Amino acid sequence: MNDLKTDILAFGSHPDDVECAIGGTILSQIQRGYKVAIIDLTKGELGSSGTAKIRSKETIDASIILGITYRENLEMEDGFIDNSKSNKLAIIRMIRKYQPKIILATAIYDRHPDHESTAKLISESSFLSGLVKIKTEIDEMQQLPHRPITVYHYIQDLFIKPDIVIDISNTFEDKMKAIKAYKSQFLQSNNNQPNGANALLKHIEATNSIFGRAINKKFAEGFTTNRSIGTDNIMNLF
C-alpha cells in the first residue's frame, strides 16, 4: 500500500504560485477529505523581495494554513525552467511517487515565462509517467508507471477564459491568509508600486470575484483543460 498516494498533486513554478492561483480550491478539497500534495519547481530565488531561505520558511507557514499532506521543492533554476529530459524525469518521479488522480498545473500562457514552461513540462510528463519503458527510481526503489486521470491548468496573472470554475466562497479568506504567509512577498515588499504586492492582492480578489459571478457565487477559481468534462448527473453542474 502506498501511504503517499494523493488525490490531487498541484505543481507551481515558484513558492506561492499555488496559493495565489488555487489556494481556495485546495482548501475546499481538503475540507472534503481529499489528500493534496504540492510540488514547487524552484525556490523563487530570483524574486525581487526576500530570499530563497526566507521563502522556504514562508512556504511551511502557508502549507500549515492550507492543511496539505506533503510538499516538496525540486530546486530547478528560477527563471530558466525548461522542458528537458532531466526535468521531465524529475516530474515523473513525483507523479509516480504520489500517484494522483488529478494534477493541477500552471497556466498555459502567462506573464511569467516559467509558468508557461512549467505548464508544458507538467502536461507532457503526466503522459510519459504512464509509459512502462520509462524507468525511474526513488531511494533505489524502482517506481511503477502511473498516469493521472487528467491535468487541469489553473489561471494565474493573465486572464484566460476558464473551462471550469470552482466555487471558493467559503475558503477565500483562508486562501488570502495562506498567500499573506509569504510576508516577504506581500507584506514587506513594494506595496505601493503599480505592480506591487497590494495591486496583486487586489488582482487576485477581483479575478476570483469575476469567476465567481459567472456561476452566481461570491468567489471562484478558474481552470482550463484540453479534455471533455463528464458527469453522470447534469444537476451537479451549476
pTM: 0.94
The predicted pLDDT at position 56 comes to 94
Q: How far apart are CA 76 and CA 13, in angstroms?
A: 9
Share of the chain above pLDDT 70, in %: 95
Superfamily covering domain 8-227: LmbE-like (3.40.50.10320)
pLDDT digits (tens, 9 = 90+) for 48-60: 888 999 999 999 9
The DSSP secondary-structure symbol of 130 reads T
Distance of CA 219 to CAs 16, 170, 172, Å? 19, 8, 7
Question: CB of 178 within 8 A of CB of 23?
Answer: yes
pLDDT digits (tens, 9 = 90+) for 88-139: 999 999 999 999 999 999 999 999 999 999 999 999 999 999 999 999 999 8
Residue 192 reports pLDDT greater than 70: no
Q: What is the DSSP string of 146-185?
A: ---SEEEEEP-SS----SEEEE-TTTHHHHHHHHHT-HHH
Q: What is the DSSP string of 63-111?
A: HHHHT-SEEEEEEEPTT-----HHHHHHHHHHHHHH--SEEEE--SS-S
Domain ranges of the chain: 8-227
